[in-house]
Amino acid sequence: MANFIPADNASCEIRASNSRFIAHLAPVDSVVLARAFIATIRQAMPDASHHVYAYVIGHGATTTLGMSDDGEPSGTAGRPALAVLKGSGFGDVVVVVTRYFGGTLLGTGGLVHAYGDAVRGVLALATRVEKIARLQIVLVMSYAQYDGIKRTLGQYDHHIDGEQFAGDVTITVTIRVADAESIRATLIEQTGGQITIH
């Protein structure tokens, strides 16, 4: 089953009985990064009434969940926000819903709807991408092998992280985990085993 993450940050604003609910979403792959994003939103909007958040780190059975009502009545803010987030199919995501109180009490039902709707709104704007496991490998080769190896790498989803030209050529490259065995076998065959891969 595919694991989806948001491609980028997103934000939206809704209104409920004169209160403003501003939702900010970000891709994060750790609780530390989720907390850092929450702190950034708090600093950016220090005069807001509440900064309710929810996050889902990981996917499937191995997820870390977090939420806060941030002073709203218990169960009216963080829980509905987290429920919508969990239902979205996204992992590695944090949402902060910032509320500016508009003078009218919404009641518990109104709050549940407003926070849930704010999260739904920002999720609708988020671009869904598949999380792909990647790893970094180091290839050491002769100058004569360099062009052919670069052509072979070009047939795969990869990113060159660095190249060093000394006695040999060293290429540091990030590849998909799913392609690792195929790349390794192809390069060994192509060079007659005259390549070092680690």
pLDDT digits (tens, 9 = 90+) for 2-59: 688 888 999 999 999 889 999 999 999 899 999 999 999 999 999 999 999 999 998 8
Give the Cα separation of 99 and 31 in Å (integer): 23
DSSP 167: S
pLDDT at 21: 96
Residue 197, SS3? Answer: strand
Give the Cα separation of 170 and 149 in Å (integer): 11
pLDDT digits (tens, 9 = 90+) for 73-121: 999 999 999 999 999 989 999 999 999 988 778 888 899 999 999 999 9
**pLDDT at residue 1 tops 70:** no
108 and 155 share a domain? Answer: no
156 and 95 share a domain? Answer: no
Split into its structural domains, the chain has a count of: 2
pLDDT digits (tens, 9 = 90+) for 59-75: 877 889 999 999 999 99
The domain of 184 spans: 134-197
For residues 53 and 66, the answer to whether their CB atoms sit within 8 Å is: yes
Tokens representing 191 are: 């060079």
pTM given for the model: 0.70
75 and 46 share a domain? Answer: yes
10 and 100 share a domain? Answer: yes
Residue with tokens 């790498």: 153
56 and 68 share a domain? Answer: yes
Amino acid, single-letter form, for residue 137: I
Give the Cα separation of 136 and 172 in Å (integer): 7
Look up the CATH number of the domain holding residue 153.
3.30.70.240
108 and 37 share a domain? Answer: yes
119 and 49 share a domain? Answer: yes
Q: Can you name the residues that pair with 11 across neighbouring β-strands?
A: 24
114 and 155 share a domain? Answer: no
Which among 44, 53, 32 has a CA at the least distance from the CA of 95? 53
pLDDT at 105: 81
55 and 139 share a domain? Answer: no
